[in-house]
Structure 1
Amino acid sequence: MTKQKISTRISESKKEKPASEQLEFGRVFTDHMFVMDYKESKGWHDPRIVPYQPITLDPASIVFHYGQTVFEGLKAYETKQGEVQLFRPEKNMQRLNRSNDRMCIPRIDEAFALEAINQLVHLDREWVPNAPGTSLYIRPFIISTEPYLGVAPSKQYQFIVILSPVGAYYKEGINPIRIAVENEFVRAVKGGTGEAKTAGNYASSLKAQEIVSEQGFAQVLWLDGLEKKYIEEVGSMNVFFKISGEVVTPALNGSILEGVTRNSVIQLLNHWDVPVTERKISMDEVYQAYKDGLLEEAFGAGTAAVISPIGELSWNGESLVINESQTGDISKKLYDTLTGIQYGSVSDPFGWTVKVNE
């Protein structure tokens, strides 16, 4: 695989680039995309960079009917030195293959996929925004393309990578957001597909998100699917609570997505000698800590928002205002450090950043 040459066809008509300060999240796409095909008889083949364009699929393609698909999300950042770098991209490719395994999709060559991303980002280098808080979002995904209505793994796939210059995921930025605890709907259960980054997990979350959005909340805090007691994730992020000086995050249990930012937060906290524990944590425990005045901070962590402080939790008709709805010290330090490493303004003692080849 790694010896295959990536062919490149340059777009003949370049798109107009939006102003950095006007960027939303995921609305605008660059001039090119990467595509690679899979057939059972040939394996992964024909890697190519082509002009960004619609894709044509048979109406019977398995992806439309049984949702056999996976995706990833990572970013490219422009440093103050004018270089472009990625943040822990190998972790995303490792997770993509874990998702592939769960969804019965053939594994990709991780090193080759990273080389494809490198070449694509380099080609669309002018699309990397440089305003504060902006970046180039990278969306690799795999879809099952075999035209077949039988319930079975596809024998044909496409691996595609598209790029999107983005601003802040939440309009609040680093300012605290309001979160509603979900007691009715379920995102995932142990033994299901919660630990895979697959489309169905997000489709099943939309109803609850729609309801809470109408009530003025930014996201949903998901509880476990069996007892609806233990905290799992918040929207599209992993979640952390600082209680009595200790940072606690739900342990990976088969229904929680293993976030790259989550892993980075845990490493940073250990590096700073801040107590951090991965374990089961119930909403009852968080509520009691709040009542006792011990709940000091709460925040989400994910690629899109990096760190998103939680200023309020709504649960069973009660409003839990955390840290007077102010950004906590740990949240701020994590955000400043992670974004500093990503943009190259803070030293990277972990070797997390990878420069895009010029």
Structure 2
Amino acid sequence: MLVSDFPPAMIRAFGFLFGALWGSFFNVAIYRWPREMSVVSPPSHCPSCGAAVPWYRNLPILGYVLLRGKAACCGAQLTPRYFLVELLSGALGLALAERFIVDMGPTASLSESAVSAGLFFAFVGGLVVATFVDLEWMEIPDEVSIGGTALGLATVTLREPGPDAVDVALGAGGGFLMVQLLLVWAWERLTGRRGMGEGDSKLLMFIGAFLGWKGALFALVGGAFQGVIVSAIVVGAGGRMKGGEHSQPAAEGDPDPDAPEAEEDDQEDGEEGDDPEGASNDLLVADGTRAVLDSGGSRLIIQDDRGRLLWEYIAASEDDSPLRRPVPFGPFLALGALEFLFFGEPLIDLYLRLFD
């Protein structure tokens, strides 16, 4: 069976519907994987009241529109992420159908082209899940990065056009080591602070397993370039990147200059240090490790017996500086990978001309 046996419009429509349907599953993975929940059981249910959601209310894109973004069972407001992920997944499915089926020409084998498009859809689906999880949790699920890397390496001969086995092996291994050694391990030891997260190095490994070493390098450089621009715009506008809403560990042994001073053991009640307006409260002390909550409840830190910061959570506030907030880098790696997948060499030439 050849590509010419079906009208291009039908192939494009199928690609969009296929992507949107899988977008519903991506939403499940985005919600459940960070919470260490199964994506199979229990069945879909309302996140507010827990009522089961029938299949006809789970129609991608249409379900959200017809319900006007509210749960049918209890009227609770649903996050627009459901609609956005399904629409984005549909658009990516359409783009892949165009790139790997329609553009292959009328004499290309439909089955081989469809397999290649399907495998690359698994790749972009992993990028979608990683992006939205990283934005909310500042972490990237191993189900995406490690599982995706295994899939990419195992199916390299089935993806055409695409890099060969040596290329993807170099891309996966080199991508991981480049970030892990230079931007995680070396950065932490030179500065005493955590740079990129280990999830980013594993995500770049996943990207390299599908796009080869050129794709991994482009995703890293292009993602960093675009990340700096977006971060500068956000900071300049007085906002901050979404992310860091959940607690994040600091580098082990990292001293915190703003950490509350340890109170003297012989401090008497009624002294200035016990003033309720400015006090910090020890929530837990065990084996020299203590958790400290400031009086406003906006900052929680955990220190070791030498007062070094082990963990910090800073609640958002009106005067919270964007420069103090960590920036999720996974979405920019994913963006760079998508740009390379669909535009490839012309985009590399454009980037090189920017630095001429």
Higher helix share: 2
**TM-score, L = length of structure 1:** 0.25
**TM-score, L = length of structure 2:** 0.25
Higher strand share: 1
- Pick 1 or 2: higher relative contact order, CA cutoff 8 A, min separation 6: 1
